[in-house]
Amino acid sequence: QITLKESGPTLVKPTQTLTLTCSFSGFSLSTSGVGVGWIRQPPGKALEWLVLIYWDDDKRYSPSLKSRLTITKDTSKNQVVLTMTNMDPVDTATYYCAHKLLGVRAFDYWGQGTLVTVSS
Amino acid sequence: EIVLTQSPGTLSLSPGERATLSCRASQSVSSNYLAWYQQKPGQAPRLLIYGASSRATGIPDRFSGSGSGTDFTLTISRLEPEDFAVYYCQQYGSSPPWTFGQGTKVEIK
């Protein structure tokens, strides 16, 4: 059974760096073809894909946010960490992590999401 | 960047009716890497369809996906009460960004 769960601060100040952790079980990020991505959703708005990391450390970033994002994995802890620098109120959103297999499979398992508010 | 435009924005239907949702891409989606998700208030999205027409594990057969290139459709053959939700399409072809549509809300008429 695959599960994912996001954790991190619920409130950050403008210009600060956000660090979110995705803890997962039921799969390994050392298995060929496996990936974990991050997607966010501002309140009342659509989904936005941010970044994905594969088992082989291949990383895919959204070009519009690439300069602000870093994704890393810790296979021994079954965790993926997202950092986003220079946070702004427009970054207020629910942040989800999700499992994806290489190729035609889309994001098939999602965490419950964590709401991050950016405010002074 | 591939822009996905979903229509209509809102679909008002009654239980038992057929729902047809459209997703149009600004350029061809490579290898038909097009997915559909369902999202209910306060919940994470749920994968329904991947590869344009393959149902995800556990998804009822009243959900079907079709299309290729730039035009894709999600059909719900007979709406059940639990199907009233927001539906998003997403393309995840070879080159990022992997974009989402703006969503279609299926509401009870």
- Which tens digit of pLDDT belongs to each residue from B21-54? 999 999 999 888 999 999 999 999 999 999 999 9
Question: pLDDT > 90: what percent of chain A?
Answer: 97
For residue A46, give how far its alpha carbon lies from the nearest alpha carbon of chain B (Å). 5
pLDDT tens, residue by residue, B66-102: 999 999 999 999 999 999 999 999 999 877 889 999 9
For residue B47, give how far its alpha carbon lies from the nearest alpha carbon of chain A (Å). 6
Beta strands at A48-54 and A59-61: parallel, antiparallel or unpaired: antiparallel
C-alpha dist (Å) from residue B23 to A39, A40, B17, B40: 20, 20, 20, 19
User: Which residues neighbour B57 within 8 Å (Cβ) at sequence distance 6 or greater?
Assistant: A108
pLDDT of residue A103: 85
Beta strands at A114-118 and A93-101: parallel, antiparallel or unpaired: antiparallel
pLDDT of residue A117: 98
Dist CA B41 CA B51 (whole Å): 26
Query: By CB neighbour count within 10 A (0-12 exposed, 13-18 middle, 19+ buried), where does B29 fall?
Result: buried
Query: Is pLDDT at B4 greater than 80 in this prediction?
Result: yes
| Interchain CB contact of A1 with B (< 8 Å) | no
* Cβ neighbours of A60 in B, within 8 Å: 96, 98
Residue B55 near residue A14, CB atoms below 8 Å: no
Between B1, B31, B88, which is nearest A47 by CB? B88
Residues 84-113 in A contacting B (C-alpha not used; CB under 8 Å): 96, 100, 104-108, 110-113
Mutate to test the interface with A, among B98, B100, B102, B105 (most CBs of A within 10 A): B98
SS3 of residue B82 by DSSP = helix
CB contact under 8 A, A111 and B103: no
Question: pLDDT > 90: what percent of chain B?
Answer: 92
For residue B99, give how far its alpha carbon lies from the nearest alpha carbon of chain A (Å). 6
CA torsion through residues A48, A70, A116, B40, sign: positive
Confidence band (pLDDT; 50, 70, 90) for A95?
very high
Residues of B with CB under 8 A from a CB of A: 1, 31, 33, 35, 37, 39, 44-47, 50-51, 54, 56-57, 88, 90, 92, 96-103
**Average pLDDT value for residue range A28-44:** 96
For residue A98, give how far its alpha carbon lies from the nearest alpha carbon of chain B (Å). 10
